Amino acid sequence: MTPDTIHSVRDRLNIRSGRLFIDGKWLEWDGPRFDQINPTLNEVIASFPEAGKRGVDLAVAAARKAFDAGPWPTMPAHDRKRILQRIIERVYAAEEELAQLQTLDNGIPYTFSRNSRASGKAAAETLDHFAGWADKLTGETYPQFSSASNMHYMSFREPVGVVAAILPWNVPLSMFAKKVGPALASGCTVVVKPSENTNLALTRLAEIFGESDLPAGVFNFVTGAGETGEALATHAGIDKVSFTGSTAVGERIVAASGFNMKRLSLELGGKSAGIIFPDARSVQASAKGLMALSSTFLSGQVCTTPSRAIVHQSIFDEFVHYAGEQVKSVRFGDPFDPATTSAPLINKRQMQRVLGYVASGVEEGATLVFGGDAATDLPGNWVNPALFINVNGGMTVVREEIFGPVLTATPFETEEEAIRIANESEYGLSGTVFTTDVTRAFRVAQKIRSGTIGINGFASVANAPMGGVKRSGIGREGGFPGIEAFTELKTVNFNLDV
Ligand code: NAD
């Protein structure tokens, strides 16, 4: 492990970290600050302003003024799109730097930060997709309904207003793009708050937005922890909250939104199933693939991770064998070393939480096949990837989102049983079915209660909707539903008798 790499990348990229971007200017903040801890070294890497209620009030007032007075919401769509396209070109140009900063933020191995769907390039593509919608947001005309009057109707699609975009730490670039892209393209103004764990890459991205032709107040960026998030989510000047994070916080936002009817989009937790049938193209590849999603990349800290393997009993032993083979290739260490496969857990608290879940699994009678202990020879928060078998739906490790490198595996006999086990969850975000029987694949995909489902693979993209049912959230991000959620329909009535 070389702290040198991390320090030198930080110093070279030199993010200015004492400021909030409000009303078209970077404001030196005279209020309290908080430390961001790097999860690879467990050292302070930078400190950022805690915007708190005062910073949020200023940012919302700026966004409110920019929305109510314009010109952004009513600007001709093509002009709005051109401004966004120029920003997007700069995001593409900064992709390498953004990927490095994201690796400093959350320890995601640089190879993934640069090349996966979590990358700066993927964020630019998502922004690009949504900028393309700016001039395609149309309403409808309706045929005359009744001869009693000569009323005619048409609808217009208008921006929803001032948006609070509250982000998690695991894939900050991607989350920023999925919210800020459609919000700005539809004509909304926005106040963005990154997670307190990951501010570096998004501060750089905010600098790019800040140096653009966006009118003052259209884009605002505040840093801070839960209290700042709460001040933003409950602010009377906010029309819509677009939140990605834990179900616990999402449910607080739902409760708080009740008194003023804020619009909500909530992308929350998951406990998705990976179902392997005996006719999967390769049991070995499916087993290794499922185990890799829990043990490499962000080490299971991804909402869509299929953290419950549901495996036909005829191939169950083979599955356990290959899952064990896969973890032999896992490498912890310097995230800028191409040999490193897995991110550390985001902080010590999350590491203790994961270790607590592992202990609960053992106490409740599950069998720990391997892993589940801390990698104590490193300063970062790594837990060796764990596999539990002999589990049931009542156990904590099967019910709760662990958000770490812990996979449970349950055998099944019939297709109906596999579907029943998969649906035995309070969550409904995603899942994957491995089979070469195409009719079975569709049958099972239709019966799983989730917002998204993969057949022989899973990846979310900018132009297809993604989101959850049950406690996994409300709404969809991606494609038209992802921008529709930032609009309101206004129906105009024309009386042609006057
Ligand atoms: P978190 O809920 O702890 O924090 C998310 C954001 O909410 C942070 O910016 C935080 O500061 C803010 N916040 C905290 N308390 C708040 C409050 N009372 N009001 C308003 N904002 C508040 O989540 P996290 O630990 O950053 O992220 C991990 C979670 O995110 C996991 O549950 C994961 O499944 C979920 N997630 C979901 C998706 C998805 O698309 N469904 C994607 C990524 C992550």
Asked if pLDDT for residue 466 goes beyond 90, the answer is yes
- Please report where in the chains the tokens 């894939």 appear, as a residue: 171
Over residues 380-389, mean pLDDT = 97
Over residues 146-169, mean pLDDT = 95
Asked if pLDDT for residue 196 goes beyond 80, the answer is yes
Which pLDDT value is given to residue 8? 85
Give Cβ neighbours of residue 114 (< 8 Å, ≥ 6 apart).
95, 96, 99, 120, 121
Residue 107 · residue 38 · CB < 8 Å: yes
Q: Which residue among the candidates 267, 400, 477, 484 is catalytic per the annotation?
A: 267
Of 431, 407, 428, 458, give the one whose Cα is nearest residue 294. Answer: 407
Which pLDDT value is given to residue 3? 67
Token pair in block for residue 70: 């314009």
Helix extents (H) in 94-145:
95-106, 110-115, 120-131
> What does the alpha-carbon distance between residue 290 and residue 285 come to, in Å, rounded to a whole number?
8
pLDDT tens readout for residues 49-65: 999 999 999 999 999 99
Distance 414 CA to ligand 1 centre (A): 36
> What does the alpha-carbon distance between residue 287 and residue 278 come to, in Å, rounded to a whole number?
12
Over residues 150-172, mean pLDDT = 97
> What does the alpha-carbon distance between residue 240 and residue 133 come to, in Å, rounded to a whole number?
19
Asked if pLDDT for residue 67 goes beyond 60, the answer is yes
% of the chain at pLDDT higher than 90: 92
Backbone phi and psi for residue 207, each to the nearest 5 degrees, phi listed first: -60, -40
As a CATH number, domain 4-268+473-491 is 3.40.605.10
Asked if pLDDT for residue 149 goes beyond 90, the answer is no
- Residues with CB under 6 Å of ligand 1 are 166-170, 193, 195-196, 225-226, 229-230, 233, 244-246, 249, 252-253, 267-270, 303, 401, 403, 429, 468, 473
Over residues 131-154, mean pLDDT = 94
* 3-class state of residue 129 by DSSP: helix
Give Cβ neighbours of residue 194 (< 8 Å, ≥ 6 apart).
167, 169, 172, 176, 202, 203, 221, 223
Band the pLDDT of 13: cuts 50, 70, 90.
Answer: confident
Atom of ligand 1 nearest to the CA of 168: 26
pTM: 0.97
DSSP classification of residue 214: P
Band the pLDDT of 1: cuts 50, 70, 90.
Answer: low
Residue 152 · residue 496 · CB < 8 Å: yes
Helix extents (H) in 132-170:
none
The verdict on whether 303 is a catalytic residue reads yes
The verdict on whether 188 is a catalytic residue reads no
Residue whose Cα lies nearest atom 21 of ligand 1: it is 229
Over residues 401-408, mean pLDDT = 98
* 3-class state of residue 389 by DSSP: strand
* Pocket perturbation via mutation, ligand 1, pick of 116, 126, 249 by most ligand atoms within 8 A of CB: 249
* Pocket perturbation via mutation, ligand 1, pick of 246, 304, 381 by most ligand atoms within 8 A of CB: 246
* Pocket perturbation via mutation, ligand 1, pick of 37, 170, 176 by most ligand atoms within 8 A of CB: 170
Token pair in block for residue 263: 């619009």
Instruction: List for the chain the helix, strand, coil content (%; round to 5).
Output: 40, 20, 40
Of 93, 333, 100, 89, give the one whose Cα is nearest residue 200. Answer: 100
Residue whose Cα lies nearest atom 40 of ligand 1: it is 267
> What does the alpha-carbon distance between residue 193 and residue 202 come to, in Å, rounded to a whole number?
9
Band the pLDDT of 183: cuts 50, 70, 90.
Answer: very high
Q: What is the domain partition of the chain in residue ranges?
A: 4-268+473-491, 273-469
Atom of ligand 1 nearest to the CA of 473: 41
pLDDT tens readout for residues 423-463: 999 999 999 999 999 999 999 999 999 999 999 999 999 99
Token pair in block for residue 309: 């393997």
Residue whose Cα lies nearest atom 23 of ligand 1: it is 245
Residue 283 · residue 294 · CB < 8 Å: no
Mean pLDDT of the residues in the chain: 96
Asked if pLDDT for residue 14 goes beyond 90, the answer is no
Which pLDDT value is given to residue 159? 98
Distance 23 CA to ligand 1 centre (A): 26
Residue 487 · residue 135 · CB < 8 Å: no
Which pLDDT value is given to residue 441? 97
- Same fold: 4-268+473-491 with 273-469: no
What class, spelled out in words, does domain 273-469 have in CATH? alpha beta
Band the pLDDT of 339: cuts 50, 70, 90.
Answer: very high
- Please report where in the chains the tokens 């019939």 appear, as a residue: 414
% of the chain at pLDDT higher than 70: 99
